[in-house]
Amino acid sequence: MSRPAARAVPVTDEYVAFCEGVRRLARVDLTQYRRLQMERRVLAFAQRRGKPNLLDYLALLATDPGELDMLLDRITINVSQLWRNPLQWQALAEQVIPELVRSGPLRAWSAGCSYGAEVFTIAAVCREVAPSAAVSVQGSDIDERMIARARLACFSDADMRTVPPRSLERWFERIDGGWQVRPELTALASFAVENLLECAAPRGSYDLIACRNLVIYFTDESRATLHRMLAGALRPGGWLLVGSTERVADAAAHGLELVYPFIYHKS
């Protein structure tokens, strides 16, 4: 009986040179992501663009900024939506935010915010729970095109599919082809371009951090670096939200305890 053929794994020496080239062109370090998945995705993308190997594709990237943009779009995966994972927002509204606003102004950070859906969700949920509390929500992402979109505060119908009807009516205005966030929420939000693997967030300065659906392609080492930095950026008593398929490895070592599904408390 013949064995099934081994699955082709596109690990090539060119990959390291390609990563170095992309790091120079875009200041994005692909070696911080899991090589197997990343190499497979980049190679498939290059081949669809008519380039048989990564070095030919790198030569194209060096001369065509539009192509570089498309590659970054592909590899950073910017998918998001408002009220993504609704149960998490319910736990936040019922358990976490009431406690946080009792102890003073609430400072939140959406780390890896893509085009801002998570930032405005946090802002809306805080406002609904505590209409007069002082709240600020900062969003950051490595992809400057996403941050430019976030600053526009406009969302498509698809982005809005899990927004509770009352929240939709209260915080968003119908515009041509989508929805505009009302000024009551945009006033709470600010945005910055930032690589989370290279930033040094001030220690103990946030009450709430959401870092969701971002680490799936990170190496274990990059995940640990990121979670250590995020835990350090939380004040004692603060909260960290992760994605619904994610966990913080060695949470206790960072002073974090899982209290609600995908929501950690910092002791």
Ligand X SMILES: C[S@@+](CC[C@H](N)C(=O)[O-])C[C@H]1O[C@@H](n2cnc3c(N)ncnc32)[C@H](O)[C@@H]1O
Give the interface with ligand X as residue ranges (CB under 6 A): 76-80, 84, 112-114, 117-118, 141-143, 146, 195-197, 212-214
> Shortest distance, CB of residue 35 to ligand X, whole angstroms?
15
**Helix (H), strand (E) at residue 123:** helix 117-129
> Shortest distance, CB of residue 93 to ligand X, whole angstroms?
17
Could you tell me which residues come within 8 angstroms of residue 67 by beta carbon, excluding any fewer than 6 positions away? 49, 60, 61
What is the crossing angle of helices 35-48 and 65-76, to 10°? 140
Q: Which is nearer to ligand X, 112 or 238 (CB)?
A: 112
> Shortest distance, CB of residue 231 to ligand X, whole angstroms?
16
Q: Which is nearer to ligand X, 90 or 195 (CB)?
A: 195
> Shortest distance, CB of residue 49 to ligand X, whole angstroms?
20
Q: Which is nearer to ligand X, 133 or 192 (CB)?
A: 192
> Shortest distance, CB of residue 28 to ligand X, whole angstroms?
8
CA angle 81, 169, 141 (to 5 degrees): 25
Could you tell me which residues come within 8 angstroms of residue 189 by beta carbon, excluding any fewer than 6 positions away? 116, 119, 120, 123, 136, 137, 138, 139, 153
Q: Which is nearer to ligand X, 56 or 221 (CB)?
A: 221
Distances (CA, A) of 167 to 44, 82, 182, 204: 41, 11, 11, 31
Among the listed residues 256, 156, 146, 172, the one whose alpha carbon sits nearest the alpha carbon of residue 209: 256
Cα–Cα distance for residue pair 165/255, rounded to 1 Å: 37
Residue 98 amino acid letter = P
Q: Which is nearer to ligand X, 76 or 167 (CB)?
A: 76
Among the listed residues 142, 148, 164, 161, the one whose alpha carbon sits nearest the alpha carbon of residue 222: 142
* Beta-carbon count within 10 A of 95 CB: 13
Q: Which is nearer to ligand X, 37 or 103 (CB)?
A: 37
> Shortest distance, CB of residue 173 to ligand X, whole angstroms?
22
